[in-house]
């Protein structure tokens, strides 16, 4: 992945101030106490924020738009390639930092530059959670309805929302085509090569003819300032169709695939699955509608171990008990997926070239498979980057595995790890992690005490430490008087929801 923009930038305020509205302090149960105001802090690279395209090297408060008077910040949701996303108290999905003049798909989230704007979804929906991949987005409403848009390959067949004018200028024939055939299967997608994952603009390449390319924003039709490789169709927001009665409570977006979690703990997936990231036991290239992923049923120590225990009902029962009865957390990496079950087991599947599936090797994993090296540790949450995975235990310990070229594992080296390794840094001594997030090649946690720690790739200031030097151990981010509540990393930036000082 390649960002634009050079050095400079710093963490000084660039016209941003905290959001307004009556707010409440969040207690341990998620409730809020009157008198506190929420603010979103950002740092890293967001091309539309700075006229010089320079990164923000330290935390900067983000201003709510004037149109949101009386509203307030609710949560942060990271963002994708060059854009940031957050949710307001009224349920608006706010996006900013994007631009359409650098030849990439930043406009997936709308051409919202310095000031956050509400992404044009139907006015009567209230967004509860959202996530973004490289160039596609997915969001769920308070009622559990799922909307997705962006890269056509990532958007399944679904009901396109009626008000197309609100999502930009689309030619009539393109709009009709989107409704009639909302899924485009890739003609050819490169699988892993000997040099590893694709990075930079190659992650946003597609195979459709560039003359068919569509924009989500009101950017000019015709000749775009696009790169030769940026030839993807962009789908407008649509409602994703699930089986009757399915209510989605969480979503995760990867490089080119999406996971959704229902209130019953069932995982659903769609998009590109060529490395097994859809967990369906095969290298199916494109899944054009949500399919259930058998995370619990295929528990998985692998077929060989299950076969060895065939006929031993007690042993099989122990495996099922160890992996749990339902999934409680999901995450998507660039080309792999990870889930946590209610028993605290961690399961992974997909691309394994850097060991990001935690199996002790670099093989791809085609079905959800238990990360057995930490089976005795109860996991609570998990996050995934382009080539790495970070999880936190119920005791607040941090474990990481996978690619480590920029120190994104936080273990004090740049050596990849194929099985989970405890992040045993002095900076985390007596600290308990309670929230975790991964960008493309950097990682972040928030502790019980409300401290933010970041590590990994820092070329664009995404660690918030005031410089552009990579770190291979967790480093505390200076947030002054703010009290962080949640963290969410975009591909090249980091967002934090915090309480402002009283």
* Confidence label for 101 from pLDDT (cuts 50, 70 and 90): low
Domain total of the chain: 1
- Determine the pLDDT at residue 22: 37
- Does residue 112 lie within any of the structural domains? yes
* Mean per-residue pLDDT, 18-44: 59
- Determine the pLDDT at residue 156: 82
- Does residue 462 lie within any of the structural domains? yes
For residue 283, count CB atoms less than 10 angstroms from its CB and return exposed for 0-12, middle for 13-18, buried for 19 or more. Answer: middle
| Of 335, 421, 367, residue with least CA distance to 134 | 335
Q: How many angstroms separate the CA atoms of 255 and 272, rounded?
A: 9
Q: How many angstroms separate the CA atoms of 121 and 127, rounded?
A: 9
pLDDT above 70 covers a percentage of the chain that reads: 70
- Does residue 71 lie within any of the structural domains? yes
- Determine the pLDDT at residue 155: 86
* Confidence label for 395 from pLDDT (cuts 50, 70 and 90): very high
- Does residue 206 lie within any of the structural domains? no
Residue predicted with more confidence, 213 or 451: 451
- Does residue 127 lie within any of the structural domains? yes
Q: What is the pLDDT of residues 220-269, one digit of tens each?
A: 222 222 333 344 467 889 999 999 899 999 999 999 999 999 999 999 99
Q: Order of strands, edge to edge, in the sheet holding 493-499?
A: 56-61, 38-44, 493-499, 483-489
- Does residue 441 lie within any of the structural domains? yes
- Does residue 163 lie within any of the structural domains? no
Sequence-distant (6+) residues with CB within 8 A of 430 are: none
The total of other beta-carbon atoms located within 10 Å of residue 144's CB is 15
pTM assigned to the model:
0.78
Sequence-distant (6+) residues with CB within 8 A of 292 are: 266, 267, 268
- 450: domain CATH number? 2.130.10.30
- Determine the pLDDT at residue 490: 94
- Does residue 212 lie within any of the structural domains? no
Q: CA 189 → CA 78, 96, 153, 253, 285, distances in Å? A: 26, 30, 11, 19, 9
**Long-range contacts (CB closer than 8 Å, 24 or more residues apart) made by 184-191:** 184/152, 184/153, 184/208, 184/233, 185/153, 185/285, 185/286, 185/288, 186/153, 186/272, 186/285, 186/286, 189/272, 189/274, 189/285, 191/274, 191/275
* Structural domain for 483, as ranges: 38-157+234-297+314-499
């Amino acid at each position: 992945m390649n960002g634009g923009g050079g050095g400079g930038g710093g963490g000084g305020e660039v016209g941003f101030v905290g959001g307004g509205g009556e707010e409440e302090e969040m207690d341990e149960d998620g409730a809020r106490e009157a008198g506190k105001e929420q603010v979103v802090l950002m740092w890293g690279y967001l091309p539309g924020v700075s006229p010089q395209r320079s990164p923000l090297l330290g935390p900067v408060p983000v201003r709510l738009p004037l149109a949101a008077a009386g509203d307030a910040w609710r949560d942060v949701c990271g963002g994708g390639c060059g854009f940031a996303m957050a949710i307001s108290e009224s349920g608006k999905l706010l996006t900013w930092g994007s631009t359409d003049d650098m030849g990439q798909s930043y406009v997936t989230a709308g051409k919202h530059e310095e000031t956050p704007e509400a992404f044009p979804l139907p006015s009567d929906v209230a967004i509860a959670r959202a996530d973004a991949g490289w160039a596609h987005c997915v969001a769920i409403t308070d009622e559990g309805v799922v909307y997705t848009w962006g890269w056509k390959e990532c958007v399944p067949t679904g009901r396109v929302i009626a008000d197309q004018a609100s999502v930009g200028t689309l030619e009539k024939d393109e709009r009709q085509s989107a409704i009639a055939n909302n899924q485009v299967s890739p003609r050819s997608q490169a699988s892993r090569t000997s040099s590893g994952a694709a990075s930079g603009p190659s992650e946003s390449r597609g195979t459709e003819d560039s003359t068919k390319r569509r924009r989500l924003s009101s950017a000019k039709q015709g000749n775009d300032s696009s790169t030769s490789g940026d030839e993807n169709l962009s789908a407008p927001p649509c409602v994703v169709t699930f089986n009757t009665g399915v209510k989605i409570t969480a979503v995760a977006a990867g490089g080119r695939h999406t996971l959704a979690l229902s209130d019953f703990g069932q995982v659903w997936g769609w998009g590109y699955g060529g490395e097994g990231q859809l967990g369906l036991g095969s290298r199916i290239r494109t899944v054009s509608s949500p399919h259930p992923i058998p995370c619990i049923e295929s528990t998985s120590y692998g077929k060989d171990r299950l076969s060895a225990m065939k006929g031993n009902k007690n042993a099989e029962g122990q495996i099922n008990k160890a992996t749990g009865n339902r999934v409680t957390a999901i995450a998507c990496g660039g080309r792999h997926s990870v889930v946590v079950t209610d028993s605290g087991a961690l399961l992974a599947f997909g691309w394994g070239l850097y060991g990001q599936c935690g199996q002790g090797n670099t093989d791809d994993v085609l079905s959800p498979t238990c990360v057995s090296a930490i089976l005795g540790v109860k996991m609570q949450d998990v996050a995934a980057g382009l080539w790495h995975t970070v999880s936190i235990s119920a005791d607040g310990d941090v474990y990481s595995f996978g690619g480590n070229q920029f120190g994104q594992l936080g273990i004090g080296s740049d050596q990849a790890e194929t099985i989970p390794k405890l992040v045993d840094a002095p900076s985390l001594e007596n600290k308990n992690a309670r929230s975790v997030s991964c960008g493309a090649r950097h990682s972040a946690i928030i502790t019980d005490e409300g401290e933010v720690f970041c590590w990994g790739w820092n070329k664009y200031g995404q660690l918030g430490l005031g410089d552009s030097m990579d770190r291979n151990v967790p480093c505390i981010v200076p947030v002054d008087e703010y009290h962080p509540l949640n963290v969410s990393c975009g591909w090249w930036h980091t967002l934090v929801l915090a309480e402002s000082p009283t």
